[in-house]
Structure 1
């Protein structure tokens, strides 16, 4: 029994001696952020189907809005401005009122995943057809 207690004490002291210096770096203050802006980086996809689970993405673009607009989105500055105007709420994007679309059912699903001003974003919406999708907002879904 004495031998077990001696081994337990030895292992405990060894662990403290070896791991003790490592905890100092873990407790150090976090590094300063690389930017003063909260990240806003999104991946937008579009595909034909009723839901993202059954639709195969046909096109995907990236949209970065902070600190400035960039990415592969063809209208990044306009899309970022539009998203800022609604506080990043994709469901609040207003459709264009002067567009007339046919009522042909050819569903198009759009997904958005990423980060908007430091908060996780996941959005999915199904439109009746491409015309309705393109009329849904001025630039965010126009890719």
Structure 2
């Protein structure tokens, strides 16, 4: 009998050690909102005069962090993060307002966005014909 009791105890301890972590809520995936998890969203935006970012020295740069809460050196981080969330992270969807008057003078301005948006790497460049066209956008993101 003592040998049988020893085997039973060993089998019980082994089953508990192996199967114990698999029981209960350990199998359930945590909800992102409940656990405080979030996809990182941190961007650096630059602006400079010229036709391509590769040939232009940035004149201004700002940071924009959207998770866990909007922050950074961008002048309106809350609104800029809201626009990006609403557009699904589509920078091209942030367009110009209709009816804004700008001159047709060609003095190109290039805006770049680099970093991470909701966990995905971002490298974006947008060319505007002049500063007025850049600032006329409905987007708060490019207004810095």
What SS does the aligned partner of 1:47 have? Answer: strand
**Which residue of structure 2 aligns with residue 116 of structure 1?**
117
What SS does the aligned partner of 2:123 have? Answer: strand
What SS does the aligned partner of 2:75 have? Answer: coil
Q: Supply the distance in 2 between the matched residues of 1:137 and 1:55 (Cα, whole angstroms).
A: 25
What SS does the aligned partner of 1:77 have? Answer: helix
Q: Supply the distance in 2 between the matched residues of 1:56 and 1:137 (Cα, whole angstroms).
A: 26
Deviation at 1:44, TM superposition (A): 0.1
**Which residue of structure 2 aligns with residue 56 of structure 1?**
57
Q: What TM-score do the two structures reach when normalised by structure 2?
A: 0.73
RMSD between aligned residues: 1.3
**Which residue of structure 1 aligns with residue 106 of structure 2?**
105
Q: Supply the distance in 2 between the matched residues of 1:130 and 1:49 (Cα, whole angstroms).
A: 11
Matched, 1:38 2:39: yes
Deviation at 1:98, TM superposition (A): 3.0
Q: Which runs of 5+ in 1 are unaligned?
A: 1-33
Per-residue deviation, residues 79-119 of structure 1 (Å, max 9, x unmatched): 00111110111011121113111100000000000000000
Larger Rg belongs to: 2
Q: Supply the distance in 2 between the matched residues of 1:61 and 1:104 (Cα, whole angstroms).
A: 26
**Number of equivalences:** 110
Paired residues for 1:1-143 under 5 Å: 36-143=37-144
Q: Supply the distance in 2 between the matched residues of 1:36 and 1:43 (Cα, whole angstroms).
A: 22
Deviation at 1:131, TM superposition (A): 0.6
Deviation at 1:69, TM superposition (A): 0.5
Deviation at 1:35, TM superposition (A): 5.0
Deviation at 1:138, TM superposition (A): 2.6
Q: Supply the distance in 1 between the matched residues of 2:139 and 2:92 (Cα, whole angstroms).
A: 14
**Which residue of structure 1 aligns with residue 6 of structure 2?**
none
Per-residue deviation, residues 40-63 of structure 1 (Å, max 9, x unmatched): 000000000000011110000000
